[in-house]
Amino acid sequence: MNKIHKLSKLSAAIALTATILACQPEQKVAQEAEKPKAPTAEEARAFIAKAESMLEQDYEYQAKTAWVQANFVTSDTNELAAKAAEEATKMGVSLAMQAKKFNGVEVDYDTRRKLEILKAGLVLPAPEDDKLTKELATISSNLDATYATGCSADKECFNLGELNATLGDNTASHEEKLNAWVNWRKVSPQMRKDYQRMVEIANQGSKELGFNDTGALWRSKYDMPADDFAKEMDRVWGQVKPLYDSLQCHVRAKLNEKYGDQVVASSGPIPAHLLGNMWAQSWGNVFEDVAPKSTASSTNIGERLKAKDYSEKEMVRTAENFFTSLGFEPLPDTFWTRSLFIEPRDRTVQCHASAWDLSLDDYRIKMCIKVNTEDFVVIHHELGHNFYQRAYNLKQPKLYRESANDGFHEAIGDTVALSINDNYLKEIGLIDEVSDESGDLPYLMRMALDKVAFLPFGLMVDKWRWGVFNGEIPATQYNKAWWDLREKYQGVKAPVARTENDFDPGAKYHVPASVPYSRYFLAHILQFQFHRELCKVAGNTGPLHRCSIYGNKEAGAKLKAMLEMGSSRPWQEALKTMTGQEQMDASAIIDYFAPLKAWLDEQNKGRQCGW
């Protein structure tokens, strides 16, 4: 009843009495009948069936639109991709909001799990507002295109591949490296305003779905409370931090010897441009400066590939052969006719390596392959995605066609890549003899510069974004917070002064592209846990770093059983299927690198470690 402002007391009493008298029992029943009924379990199941059908019908269109945009980067394809993304976001928001209506309904396991998947399925959920949905899609597409074109607001354009090559060139001067590092970060400042607006819209959408912010939504996807997942990340990091600290201490000391105190101090964080990679996320390119001395010659896979006259496509064939040796079926013929293996000269493409699942029988990779060691390993990684995609696609309904968690997807190809050692290279004819154990320390150092060095970077990227999403990091401190976290976790610092006129997070692809990054940290933990278990199944009795599961059908069968589960069960159950454990365990990393850790600790005696 509306409030009565001007009626006299008598008039109000008469009006109230009339209302009461009008409410006869028959009318009460009619009014109650008009109330919306509570949703039922049967309606929830019907909704899920309809949602899966809609997503199935829409997926191929969405995937192919994204494929075209990534392979033909123009203003037109950007517009088409933005429109497709807008449509997909609208559908995702609609399904998520409908799924929310069944929160209090008691339903069977699969229906409940699929409802939760729908609610948490959006990376950047738009509000139920067409204008904001369109704005979010346009911002996302523009951020991605800005990164892909590599041009600053002043129209000064840069080739990321060439700049990164300079940073990785062991003969390049400190000044040349610094110039390359600074130039790439001229592209990202123009992203800041759009990024801030994107955060605002996505947070509004996340709150409409019942989450505190978008970071809480991201963390909700890990079959545990959002805050518990953050604590689990820190727990696992604590297991490996002593190994990382030893590595950082040694690398800093050797770079100090090379460049001198004016460039690299003997204590404190390491300048980011000297670690051989645009983001200082992997340090393999400084291997020659920091490696243990050994008379044993380490295998340079890139040189062996060139000596054997491998083409880019043959590198991919070799990676496919690894999976077929484990008992997997070869990839379909369309993989070879539709994938992108070589960077075209006639158009702009997004060269960041990626694996694509466009339909139940259409799998591809997009990659500007170079005949070198890094890309040989990356190809094995990307095909890991493809074989995972096909395994669950053939067994699971639409909403379960995903990895147990996103870290699993990243871990599978890397698990296989851990078998890319001399035993494997000899099996496929790239080398004639397996090196003796005198070459193990250099090999482990090379692996640590890639795998161990990455861990704190893999952890802090999303810690930065979680802080941005929940407001702990205001827009006025985006850049400061980024470098504070890099120093805290990595012991790495900016080589020149940075201000809030810069937007250095945007210089990393996954930030403007809004790709959650925790998956890469999880993958670096899980791959060693997977590798240790598969090596046990394969009967390995030697050092873990010398094990290769290539050709072992028993290991392949165990791997395949987990892949086929998709996301149908909590990731803890999928992990148990593979390893017998329900909790992530970084002790496999400690086992793998045990000889190197002992050597590093000996080298670091008398040095001031830490930062």
Residue 281 lies in a domain: yes
510 tagged catalytic: yes
Catalytic residue (one of 250, 273, 385, 545): 385
344 occurs within a structural domain: no
Residue pLDDT, tens place only, 500-516: 999 999 999 999 999 99
Residue in 52, 86, 402, 410 annotated catalytic? 410
Catalytic residue among 60, 79, 87, 352: 352
Catalytic, out of 380, 381, 409, 545 = 381
Q: DSSP secondary-structure letter at 355?
A: E
Identity of the amino acid at 428: I
Which whole number is the average pLDDT over 107-111? 97
Residue 249, pLDDT score = 97
CA–CA distances in Å: residue 91 to residues 99, 141, 206, 384: 12, 18, 15, 29
Domain presence at residue 126: no
Window from 88-92, 322-326, 328-332, 390-394 with minimum mean pLDDT: 88-92
Is residue 17's pLDDT more than 60?
A: no
**DSSP letter assigned to residue 299:** P
Sign of the torsion formed by the C-alpha atoms of 84, 89, 92 and 98? negative
Q: Is 5 a catalytic residue?
A: no
If one counts every other C-beta atom within 10 angstroms of the C-beta of residue 611, the result is 18
**Catalytic residue list contains 273:** no
The closest of 411, 389, 417, 412 to 567, measured between CA atoms, is 389
Which is nearest to 285 in space by CA: 438, 115, 118, 166? 166
Tell which residue, 178, 361, 193, 198, has the closest CA to residue 272.
178
pLDDT value, residue 393:
96
| pLDDT (0 to 100) of residue 487 | 97
This prediction has a pTM of 0.85
Q: Is 409 a catalytic residue?
A: no
Amino acid at 315: M
Annotated active-site residue in 222, 310, 388, 520? 520
List 52, 86, 382, 402, catalytic entry = 382
**Number of folded domains in the chain?**
1
Is 8 part of a structural domain of the chain?
no
Residue 170 lies in a domain: no
Contacts of 226 (CB under 8 A, 6+ apart): 216, 219, 220
Residue 381 catalytic?
yes
Instruction: Give tens-digit pLDDT for 61-88.
Output: 999 999 999 999 888 988 898 888 888 8
Q: Which of 510, 524, 531, 545 is catalytic?
A: 510
Give me the catalytic one of 172, 353, 475, 513.
Answer: 353
**What six digits make up the tokens of 150?**
């590599």
In a domain, 21, yes or no: no
The amino acid present at 66, given as its one-letter code, is: A
Residue 277 in domain = yes
- Residue 256, domain member (yes or no): yes
Task: Quick: pLDDT tens for 159-169.
Answer: 998 999 999 99
Residue 9, phi then psi, degrees to nearest 5: -60, -40
Residue 385 falls in the annotated catalytic set: yes
Examine the residue annotation and report whether 174 is marked as an active-site residue of this protein.
no
Q: 259: Cβ–Cβ under 8 A, 6 or more apart, which residues? A: 174, 274
**Domain housing 453:** 244-305+324-330+385-459+515-603
Q: Report the b/e string of 258-286 with b at 16+ CB within 10 A.
A: ebeeebbbeeebbbbbbbbbbbbbbbbbb
Taking 50 as the threshold, does the pLDDT of residue 20 lie above it? no
- Strand stretches in 436-501, DSSP E: 492-493
Task: Please indicate whether residue 531 is annotated as part of the active site.
Answer: no
Q: With CA atoms as reference, report the closest residue to 320 among 376, 371, 361, 404.
A: 376
Distances in whole angstroms, Cα of residue 167 to Cα of each of 178, 263, 489: 8, 15, 22
